[in-house]
Chain A
């Protein structure tokens, strides 16, 4: 069984069994595949160069829309413009974190610095967003209902399997975030990628 993440002098340590790491790498790979932009035959080389995609449109898949939401609410045109300017680079940064997270799971013993922990937390969160959409978790009550499923051996259909996966990833992320918050308390100077406004 996986153990909870523990903050320490050499970063955050954790332990995951081989099957757990294989499973996580598999789902990280699935999410990467969802995020890979569709290859267009006549893609304008400027898209790759500038990251601005004039053909970007809101994803049809609801789970992908959770990963790439609108940046402007109730403003279709403004939201689309925002998407065209930013979606490509958002896809790339998410794929980057998911790949980095996969690489961290090569061995059973995990020793994470704050950047690595951040990649893993973001990757786990993206998995939770996708799985929650597949499970149609729309309200707090829906989320509560899913919480009951913890036993892989009792999962006999896709929905139950996804529920167990969701709870496992949730437990892992909660444990990781607790350790990251503890690290933040210890080194307040490390906080602040952006400046307080």
Chain B
């Protein structure tokens, strides 16, 4: 396995080991360009143009959108990546999540 594959495998294990779902939320702001937000969703998450545009419009119209969910650590990595791109992202426990990792 390449380093990349090993890393993905580790991430996969983390994801399945943690049974608590967490959400990655993106918040609207009047500054980030719609085209840029959609591009980030496509290039970073590998989402289709259709899905990226749908999420971007949800952010724009509703003020926020859950763009990914999964293990907490993975979502926290995504938050940092989104902040790197200049999007405001937060991590939150999924409402229907049941068992919490903390609290």
Contact = CB atoms under 8 A, between A and B. Distances in A.
Contact of A122 (B80, B84, B90, B92): B84
Given A72-B91, A126-B86, A197-B69, A86 B80 contact: yes
A73 to B, nearest CB: 4
A132 interface: yes
B69 A174 contact: no
A176 to B, nearest CB: 9
Interface residues of B, number: 35
Interface stretch (A3-11, A20-28, A52-60, A184-192): A184-192
B89 A125 contact: no
Contacts of A64: none
Interface residues of A, number: 44
Nearest to A68: B83
Given A72-B92, A140-B30, A181 B39 contact: yes
Interface of A: 67-73, 82, 86, 89-90, 93-94, 97, 118, 121-122, 125-126, 128-129, 132, 137-140, 142-143, 170, 173-174, 177-178, 180-181, 184-185, 191-197
Interface of B: 8, 25, 27, 30-33, 35-36, 38-39, 42-47, 49, 68-70, 76, 78-81, 83-86, 88-92
